[in-house]
């Protein structure tokens, strides 16, 4: 995929741009940084949901009980 052919402009303040840069790893584009951060946020959200389910394990029914 050629990112330049699909690129858009998202207006942000210089402060936000500078904060975004701090999350970057050498050689990453803003697109790379944002994708990685969103992937991490999705993973964290998924894991939080799984831990919540485990906290409610008293609601589980053993296969032996079925």
In DSSP notation, the chain reads --HHHH-------HHHHHHHHHT--TT--HHHHHHHHHHHHHHHHHHHHHHHHHHTGGG---GGG-
pLDDT digits (tens), the chain, 66 positions? 566 678 899 999 999 999 999 999 999 999 999 999 999 999 999 999 888 888 887 777 778 888
pLDDT of 55 reads 82
Q: pLDDT at position 1, please?
A: 56
pLDDT at 46: 93
CB 12 within 8 A of CB 21: no
Model's pTM, two decimal places? 0.65
- Tell me how far the alpha carbon of residue 44 is from its chain's centroid: 7
Q: Taking a C-beta distance cutoff of 8 angstroms, is the pair 37, 23 a contact?
A: yes
């Amino acid at each position: 995929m050629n990112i330049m052919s699909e690129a858009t402009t998202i207006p942000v303040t210089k402060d936000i741009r500078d904060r975004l840069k701090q999350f970057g790893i050498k050689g990453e584009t803003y697109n790379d940084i944002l994708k990685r951060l969103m992937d991490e946020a999705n993973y964290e959200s998924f894991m939080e949901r799984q831990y919540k389910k485990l906290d409610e394990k008293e609601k589980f029914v053993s296969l032996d009980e079925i």
